[in-house]
A and B are shown apart, each in its own frame.
Chain A
């Protein structure tokens, strides 16, 4: 399963990078969303997908899934959510102020230099 997941993560990264390299702001943010999914799955895969039960103490259970990657991913999910939310509002404000969502048109003005 880990081998397959490695290819899945690679696929997610590929799609994410392709989107990040596009012109529209919204697609770029969608790309970062895919990128964080790929990264989270990668962390989980690298920790090993073995283990029969969730990492919660229970009667007669000995083979738990590795809890450490899960803790790391939980932190990462929250942080990437915060960043994504911030980006989205930034993009929304950029639409409002600049009237465009095309990054090739966002070049600043001569006066800013």
Chain B
């Protein structure tokens, strides 16, 4: 119970926060917020001693028991790793934000409420064992991310970025929900653990691939994979602590988490291996190519995040290959899974620190434009050191943790060519090549980021502020992260034992029974193997390209014009969804009541006649038909002539009189069909109606009195004919197929004995079915009152006369 409640601690704290912000103005609100992730970090660290033995801890809180929906917190190696990342980096980010955001100028309570909301959401995503609550928290991350990106909501770009990220991640989230529903239908359970157990039987199901693709769409949109990465660079409008926390260390890894969590279910599929590894590699390459084009510090980091996420994703794809080979624990395929998790930790440390440095540079110089920056090394020595450590780690240089994971990444990619299933024997050779090219460009943009900012000539006149070193408090978090970068390099196996191995055992449960069986030791030096020579090549090519950067950077100006996916997004949002949809709706929403009536009648006619035709329902029988008398024929002729007169009348008065003639003929029909009450009523009412029509006619304004014959229109005539034909066909077939006897026999027998009346129609109206009559009286009363009100109440005219006064 406590374990589930721990997820909700941040959001509960968020509720209390506005009171603190309003009451305690002297102390920065962030200091109170800092307690929350710190406490949670301590709490989650206590679970580590259980997870390193491969144990998992489950706690459940019922939510909707009748639908089998509950909040289930499931802590195994993978989720404890993410929980510690979230709370640990969360603490550092909150600390950093205390010095980054001004208590007096900013709406801090909003900021921290969104941030705490996000923390709950993220903890929920990584701990949920129930797919529906996982989806719930997933959407909460989208919403809180939307709020945080749009934190400075009076800026256009913030709103645009927030909307874009919302549209893309929510679209993916909905796909993912579809995948979850399919998956739980196939497995008969909502629990991920139980689904993993059932994986071998789910694989053969018809919906398996569909569910797989839908869930991957959710993961790819969230983790900014190709082609959905476009929201991430625009999300850089958020305050820098948010970019550091959400858009480098945590939220964008939710998709990674999802892929890792569902690997035991989907890894048996060829589609999964290809999609995850292929899209990951493509994203890695694409992001690294475009990062050195950026001129905004955070833009470089955004594209580098995209690229690094692609790297982790491709490793997870390769890790799925281990499910397809015999005795995988003894082969080199095992490295990919380990490398993915290890790099995930390393990326969170160095990318977090780099974002914080970008924020510091922005804070102290007033700009993030790399063209205006330079020569800050001597002015900001601490920031420079941290940036250097982070960038070198990102580039994959020793003695930083990025080097270790880069080596393992290369090992993982080299293992692909050993894999002889799913056409990998032909295309597999591309993997190490593309990975190598991407690594070269990673090297280039890492150097570009740090050296263009901190070395070179100081352009003091271009900077809005006079640059100086940041305050100590702001530097604490990046320094902690940077020292982690170095520490992990020297003690990689402690990190491996504590966090990586339990997570790997959770991703590949069929290979390892416990984390101890993951027999991988990270080595800083592994001999003159292919990986070593590849790294040497990366450094050499990277240095060369970096030296020549000003010469070839111009190429970027040509390429992106026609390769930009942002164009496509804008096209879809503005042209397809906005303009084209509006045109489409104005095509049929013409504001003409005749058009709408035409649509309605055409639809009714086609549905009814279509049903008659396709169901073979039409029939015609001459049984039970009463004979035709001479009166009938005479009346029919009068009726038809009256109707035709109404139709083709040149003046309206002829039409009204024609209608009157039809009404009186109908009354005469009632006479010959033995319906005296009807005939009486019809005569009276027709008289009043005609009088009313004449009144309306008399009051016509002069303008409309131009009497012209109705113009004949073919479409209109066709619709009218269709309705007429439909009614006739319906009447004929209904009359020809009577299925049950009328109930009128009962009325005829009991009208005197039970109701004491002789006129059966009247007795039905007031006795058997008196309620009809009651409400028919009500209808008349309402009509009368409505008419009275319409004539008497003339508000608009009164208002007008008041205005004139």
A101 to B699, CA, bound (A): 11
Decide if B735 touches A6 in the complex (CB within 8 Å).
yes
Decide if B695 touches A92 in the complex (CB within 8 Å).
yes
Residues of A within 8 A of B (CB): 1-15, 17-24, 26-27, 29-30, 33-34, 37-38, 40-42, 44-58, 64-68, 70-71, 73-75, 77-79, 81-86, 88-93, 95-97, 99-104, 107-108
Decide if A55 touches B659 in the complex (CB within 8 Å).
no
Decide if B594 touches A107 in the complex (CB within 8 Å).
no
A-B residue pairs in contact (CB < 8 Å), sample of 14: A2-B625, A19-B646, A33-B662, A34-B659, A44-B673, A51-B674, A56-B758, A57-B751, A57-B758, A70-B675, A85-B783, A88-B696, A93-B790, A108-B591
5 additional A-B pairs beyond A33-B659, A84-B689, beta carbons within 8 Å, are A1-B627, A30-B659, A40-B666, A78-B681, A101-B700
A82 to B632, CA, bound (A): 29
Partner of A77, one of B682, B692, B697, B704: B682
- A108 contacts across to B, CB distance below 8 A: 591
Decide if B704 touches A102 in the complex (CB within 8 Å).
yes
- A103 contacts across to B, CB distance below 8 A: 592-594
Partner of B662, one of A37, A79, A92: A37
Decide if A49 touches B724 in the complex (CB within 8 Å).
no
Decide if A67 touches B747 in the complex (CB within 8 Å).
yes
Decide if A64 touches B748 in the complex (CB within 8 Å).
yes
Decide if A100 touches B703 in the complex (CB within 8 Å).
yes
Decide if B761 touches A55 in the complex (CB within 8 Å).
yes
Shortest Cβ distance from residue A29 to the other chain B in the assembled complex, whole angstroms: 7
Binary contact track B83-99/A, C-beta < 8 Å → 1, others 0: 00000000000000000
Binds A, one of B52-60, B190-198, B393-401, B764-772: B764-772
- A3 contacts across to B, CB distance below 8 A: 620, 622, 625, 732, 735
Shortest Cβ distance from residue B778 to the other chain A in the assembled complex, whole angstroms: 10
A29 to B628, CA, bound (A): 32
The DSSP consensus for interface residues of chain A is: helix
Residues of B within 8 A of A (CB): 591-594, 597-598, 601, 620, 622, 624-628, 632, 636, 639-640, 643-644, 646-647, 652, 655-656, 659, 662-663, 666, 669-670, 673-678, 681-682, 685, 688-689, 692-693, 695-697, 699-701, 703-704, 710, 713, 716-717, 719-721, 723-729, 731-732, 734-735, 742-744, 747-748, 751-752, 758-761, 764-765, 769, 772-773, 776, 779-780, 782-784, 786-787, 790-791, 796
Question: Which of B627, B692, B744 has most chain A Cβ within 10 Å?
Answer: B744
Decide if A68 touches B747 in the complex (CB within 8 Å).
yes
A15 to B669, CA, bound (A): 19
- A38 contacts across to B, CB distance below 8 A: 727
Shortest Cβ distance from residue B152 to the other chain A in the assembled complex, whole angstroms: 33
Ordered nearest first, which 9 A-B pairs have the shortest CB separation? A14-B724, A10-B728, A82-B783, A18-B720, A6-B731, A65-B674, A67-B760, A55-B760, A57-B758
Decide if B727 touches A75 in the complex (CB within 8 Å).
no
A71 to B724, CA, bound (A): 25
- A54 contacts across to B, CB distance below 8 A: 674-676
- B721 contacts across to A, CB distance below 8 A: 14
Decide if B699 touches A8 in the complex (CB within 8 Å).
no
A84 to B620, CA, bound (A): 35
Decide if B636 touches A75 in the complex (CB within 8 Å).
no
Decide if B696 touches A91 in the complex (CB within 8 Å).
yes
B647 to chain A: closest residue by CB: A15
Shortest Cβ distance from residue B697 to the other chain A in the assembled complex, whole angstroms: 7
Decide if A33 touches B626 in the complex (CB within 8 Å).
no
Shortest Cβ distance from residue A103 to the other chain B in the assembled complex, whole angstroms: 5
- A22 contacts across to B, CB distance below 8 A: 594, 710, 716
Knowing A37-B666, A77-B685 are in contact, say whether A55-B674 is a contact too (CB < 8 A): yes
Decide if A65 touches B790 in the complex (CB within 8 Å).
no
Decide if B689 touches A33 in the complex (CB within 8 Å).
yes
Decide if B776 touches A79 in the complex (CB within 8 Å).
yes
A99 to B632, CA, bound (A): 44
Knowing A10-B725, A64-B760 are in contact, say whether A46-B659 is a contact too (CB < 8 A): no
A58 to B704, CA, bound (A): 55
Shortest Cβ distance from residue B634 to the other chain A in the assembled complex, whole angstroms: 13
Decide if A83 touches B783 in the complex (CB within 8 Å).
yes
- B720 contacts across to A, CB distance below 8 A: 14-15, 17-18, 21
- A100 contacts across to B, CB distance below 8 A: 701, 703-704
A107 to chain B: closest residue by CB: B591
A78 to chain B: closest residue by CB: B776
- A47 contacts across to B, CB distance below 8 A: 742
Decide if A81 touches B743 in the complex (CB within 8 Å).
no
Decide if A45 touches B689 in the complex (CB within 8 Å).
no
- A65 contacts across to B, CB distance below 8 A: 673-675
Decide if B643 touches A11 in the complex (CB within 8 Å).
yes
Shortest Cβ distance from residue A8 to the other chain B in the assembled complex, whole angstroms: 6
Decide if A95 touches B704 in the complex (CB within 8 Å).
yes
Knowing A3-B732, A46-B731, A100-B701 are in contact, say whether A11-B625 is a contact too (CB < 8 A): no
A13 to B720, CA, bound (A): 8
Decide if A79 touches B779 in the complex (CB within 8 Å).
yes
- B655 contacts across to A, CB distance below 8 A: 26-27, 30
Shortest Cβ distance from residue A106 to the other chain B in the assembled complex, whole angstroms: 8
Decide if A81 touches B675 in the complex (CB within 8 Å).
no
Decide if B761 touches A89 in the complex (CB within 8 Å).
no
Decide if A75 touches B776 in the complex (CB within 8 Å).
yes
- B786 contacts across to A, CB distance below 8 A: 86, 89
Partner of A2, one of B626, B685, B700, B772: B626
A71 to B701, CA, bound (A): 40
A73 to B675, CA, bound (A): 10
- B628 contacts across to A, CB distance below 8 A: 1, 4
Knowing A86-B786, A99-B703 are in contact, say whether A75-B673 is a contact too (CB < 8 A): no
A49 to B659, CA, bound (A): 24
Decide if B646 touches A15 in the complex (CB within 8 Å).
yes
A46 to B659, CA, bound (A): 23
Shortest Cβ distance from residue A32 to the other chain B in the assembled complex, whole angstroms: 10
Decide if B643 touches A12 in the complex (CB within 8 Å).
yes
A38 to B760, CA, bound (A): 24
- B670 contacts across to A, CB distance below 8 A: 44
- A46 contacts across to B, CB distance below 8 A: 731, 734-735
A11 to B636, CA, bound (A): 11
Shortest Cβ distance from residue B55 to the other chain A in the assembled complex, whole angstroms: 64
Partner of B592, one of A5, A12, A92, A104: A104
A108 to chain B: closest residue by CB: B591
Decide if A75 touches B728 in the complex (CB within 8 Å).
no
Decide if A9 touches B758 in the complex (CB within 8 Å).
no
- B676 contacts across to A, CB distance below 8 A: 54, 56
Shortest Cβ distance from residue A105 to the other chain B in the assembled complex, whole angstroms: 10
Shortest Cβ distance from residue A42 to the other chain B in the assembled complex, whole angstroms: 6
Decide if B689 touches A85 in the complex (CB within 8 Å).
yes
- B776 contacts across to A, CB distance below 8 A: 75, 78-79
B635 to chain A: closest residue by CB: A8
A39 to B710, CA, bound (A): 25
A6 to B601, CA, bound (A): 19
Partner of A75, one of B627, B731, B773: B773
Question: Which of B675, B697, B732 has most chain A Cβ within 10 Å?
Answer: B675
